[in-house]
Amino acid sequence: MKRAHLTIDPHFVVGRVQRRLFGSFVEHLGRCVYDGIYEPGHPNADPDGYRSDVIELVRELGVSAIRYPGGNFVSGYRWEDGVGPRDERPRRLDLAWHSTETNEVGLDEFASWLRKVGSELMYAVNLGTRGVQEALDVLEYANIRSGTTLSDRRVANGSPEPHDIRMWCLGNEMDGPWQLGHGTAEEYGRLASKTARAMRQVDPELELVACGSSSAHMPTFGHWERTVLEETYDDVDYISCHAYYEPKGGDYGSFLASGVDMDRFIDSVVATADHVKSARGSEKTMYISFDEWNVWYQSRYNEVDRITDVAEWPVAPRLLEDVYSVVDAVVFGSLLISLIRHADRVTSASLAQLVNVIAPIMTEPGGPAWRQTTFFPFSVTSALAKGDTLELKLDCPTYSTALYGEVPLVDAVATYEPATGETAVFLVNRSLDEEVSLEIDTSILDGLTVRSFQTLSDEDIHAVNTLEVQDRVRLRDNDSARTTEGAVTVTLPPVSWSALTLA
């Protein structure tokens, strides 16, 4: 058995864990909205047409804020299409996902649904095919109480209270050639700056997100961040990051180390932002909104799911409905660890996406809703990660990967709540075939006992939850925890994600 040692000291604080780290993302894509959160004819539909079983699962997941309505979809979206009487709303071609958008659900409906699930709305404006004026219009419609044409239209449409959206994304993935309205970093940066300054004339306290790179592997990565921030540094609060991971060529060793790549991505963006800060002589710190992240089998979309027939524009097709395995969930859990590890600079994040589309929650039209394997690391981490992220001292074996070189066999992060002394430790064993015995030095945390220790693992790392068998994979109590004076020792199964709480 491999052995590792971890030291926890609450005096070494990285940063405060913000609730917005546990956000998600709903795009008008596939069955995320239609047949996902909204299905009026379903037996569990509430009077507004929302699936109550999905609402309960979203609450259980612990999602804090939800980015909407895109994604690639937003760069061709006209927000006005989604408000007012439903029978008067136009049907439009969605060029991003080669579908037909019915506009049955729009801003008012989604804000209403968010009140049911208890999440904050994070809204993306269209800077692909539109611009400053449209951003001002949707801001006025959403946030001004009344007394103007657009705010009174919202009231007349059945939303008397403002939606009070505080966080706004200035476009989506504008570095990507696939994006409607794609341009250079200079062009986007100037448009984002103009839009941000105009929106702040309405409300100076808005929180604004500029588009960073859609991947650390884009050819413009680094240059894009630097140029956009040189144009927008005084106008925005966040630069965004997006990252997706999948196993390539059966290389599960590298796949399990995906969190190493995310760490490097974040560190690079932080370094670039701080360079711009220094060059400008600014006292302002730029934060990161990691507003798209997940395991996503993009190769399947490109090879199987992509719709290309110019005569075929389906409504809510089955797109990007990845079925997640145990190994996917373990990688997913390590990505969460990476986000929490950078709590000093990553203060908002959005799991992409929430229902059916590369999602922790799946539904069947007219049928049940169930939890994918990735549901469990998210729900538990959202519930337990409180207080401060701690800087850890981890001694463990390494292993070689084709993509990332030598990486630690164990991945770990810990949070500590000073008011209660409650400590949560999140752990991943990346080994494909060996257990790891981990000793955790807790000597500086007097009187701690193990409250719970749960692990997600399986003898078959490709095991999944499906419509037919919905609970094949779940969290199970791990009874290996042993407490001695000043230490806790636990056993981590191969390819596993675990959560340990000390109180």
Give dist(CA 176, CA 74) in Å, integer: 14
Q: Quickly list DSSP for 145-164.
A: -SSSHHHHHHHHTT--S---
Give dist(CA 270, CA 406) in Å, integer: 23
Q: How many helices (H) and strands (E) does the chain have?
A: 11, 26
**185: burial class by Cβ within 10 Å (0-12, 13-18, 19+)?**
buried
- Amino acid present at 138: V
What proportions of the chain, in percent to the nearest 5, are helix, strand and coil? 30, 25, 45
**Unique residue bearing structure tokens 């110019």:** 310
Instruction: Decide: 455 and 478 in contact? Cβ < 8 Å.
Output: yes
Give dist(CA 213, CA 226) in Å, integer: 11
SS3 37: coil
Q: At what angle do helices 107-117 and 52-61 cross, to 10 degrees?
A: 60
β-sheet bridge partners, residue 169? 124, 209
Question: In this structure, are strands 388-390 and 410-416 parallel, antiparallel, or unpaired?
Answer: antiparallel
SS3 464: strand
Nearest to 449 by CA among 485, 408, 494: 485
Dig out the tokens for 95 from the structure: 């060029």
> Which stretches of 281-411 are DSSP H helices?
298-300, 326-341, 375-384
Dig out the tokens for 330 from the structure: 């373990």
Instruction: Decide: 363 and 355 in contact? Cβ < 8 Å.
Output: yes
Enzyme catalytic residues:
173, 292
Task: Spell 286-323 as b/e; 16+ CB within 10 A means b.
Answer: bbbbbbbbbbbbeeeeeeebeeeeeeebeebbebbbbe
SS3 329: helix
Task: Spell 19-51 as b/e; 16+ CB within 10 A means b.
Answer: bbbbbbbbbbbbbbbbbbbbbeebebbeeebbb
Q: At what angle do helices 258-280 and 223-232 cross, to 10 degrees?
A: 40
Question: In this structure, are strands 482-484 and 487-492 parallel, antiparallel, or unpaired?
Answer: antiparallel
